[in-house]
Structure 1
Amino acid sequence: MRRVTLADETSVTSTDATDVPLDALRTVLAPLGTVVSAERLTGGMFATSYRVVLDDGVRVIVKTAPTATEKLLTYELDLVRSEAHVYRLAEQHPQLLMPRVLLTDETRSVLPSDALVVSHLDGVPLTDAGFGPADTDPRAARAEHELGAYMARLHTAPGLAWARALTPTDGEHDRPFGYPNAASGLVGRTWTETFTAMVDAVLDDAPRWGVELPADLVRSAVARHRSALADVTQPALVHTDLWAGNLFVDAATGEIVGVIDPERAFWGDPLHEVVGADCHNTGPVNPRVLAGYASVVPGGLDVTSPSARTRLALYRTFLTLILLTEITPRAFDGDWVPGYRAELWRALDVHLAALA
Structure 2
Amino acid sequence: MTSSDTLSALVAPVGRLTGFERLTGGMFATTYRVTLEDGSRVVVKTAPTDLDRLLTYELDLLRTEALVYELAHERPELLMPTVLHTDYTRTVLPSDVLVVSHLPGTPMLDAGLGADDPRTERLERDLGAYLAHQHTLTGTRFGYPNAETGLQADAWPEAFSLIVEALLADAARWGTALPDDEIRAALRRHAGALAHVTTPVLVHTDLWPGNLFVDPATGELLGVIDTERAMWGDPLLDLVGIDPMWHGVSPRVLAGYGATSGAAWDVEEPDAAARLLLYRLLMALIMKVETAPRAYEGDWVADFVARYEENLARALTALA
TM tier relative to shorter chain: over 0.9
Name whichever of 338-347 and 95-104 sits farther off.
338-347
Q: Read off the aligned partner of 1:125 and give its amino acid letter.
A: P
Cα displacement string for residues 2-42 of structure 1 (whole angstroms, at most 9, x for unaligned residues): xxxxxxxxxxxxxxxxx212211111111122110000001
Counterpart of 2:230 in structure 1 is 265
Structure 1 residues 107 and 219, CA gap change in structure 2 (3 angstroms): same
- Normalising by structure 1, we get a TM-score of 0.88
Residue 58 of structure 1: how far off its partner (Å): 1.2
Counterpart of 1:170 in structure 2 is none
Q: What stretches of structure 1 move > 4 A for 4+ residues in a row?
A: none
Question: Is 1:103–2:85 an aligned residue pair?
Answer: yes
Counterpart of 1:75 in structure 2 is 57
Q: Secondary structure of 2:261's partner? A: coil
Cα displacement string for residues 103-158 of structure 1 (whole angstroms, at most 9, x for unaligned residues): 0010000001100000000100011001111x2x10011111111111111002xx
Q: Is the 8 A contact 1:271 1:301 kept in 2?
A: no
Cα displacement string for residues 32-83 of structure 1 (whole angstroms, at most 9, x for unaligned residues): 2211000000111111000000111110000011143310111100001110
How many residue pairs were aligned?
320
Structure 1: 5+ residue stretches without partners: 1-18, 163-172
Question: Is 1:150–2:130 an aligned residue pair?
Answer: yes
Counterpart of 2:41 in structure 1 is 59
Ranked by relative contact order (alpha carbons within 8 Å, sequence separation 6 or more), the top structure is 2
Q: Secondary structure of 2:293's partner? A: coil
Q: Secondary structure of 1:122's partner? A: coil
Question: Is 1:247–2:227 an aligned residue pair?
Answer: no
Counterpart of 1:197 in structure 2 is 162
Q: Secondary structure of 2:202's partner? A: strand
2-structure distance, mates of 1:236, 1:320: 22
Residue 347 of structure 1: how far off its partner (Å): 1.1
* Equivalent residues in 2 for 1:153-232, closer than 5 Å: 153-156=133-136, 160-162=137-139, 173=140, 176-232=141-197
1-structure distance, mates of 2:301, 2:10: 36
Q: What RMSD in Å do the two structures reach over aligned CA positions?
A: 1.0
Higher helix share: 2
Q: Is the 8 A contact 2:30 2:47 kept in 1?
A: yes
2-structure distance, mates of 1:101, 1:304: 38
Cα displacement string for residues 202-257 of structure 1 (whole angstroms, at most 9, x for unaligned residues): 01111111111111110111011110010101111001111111000011000001
Counterpart of 1:138 in structure 2 is 118
Counterpart of 1:5 in structure 2 is none
Question: Is 1:32–2:14 an aligned residue pair?
Answer: yes
Percent identical across equivalent pairs? 57
Q: Secondary structure of 2:22's partner? A: strand
2-structure distance, mates of 1:314, 1:307: 11
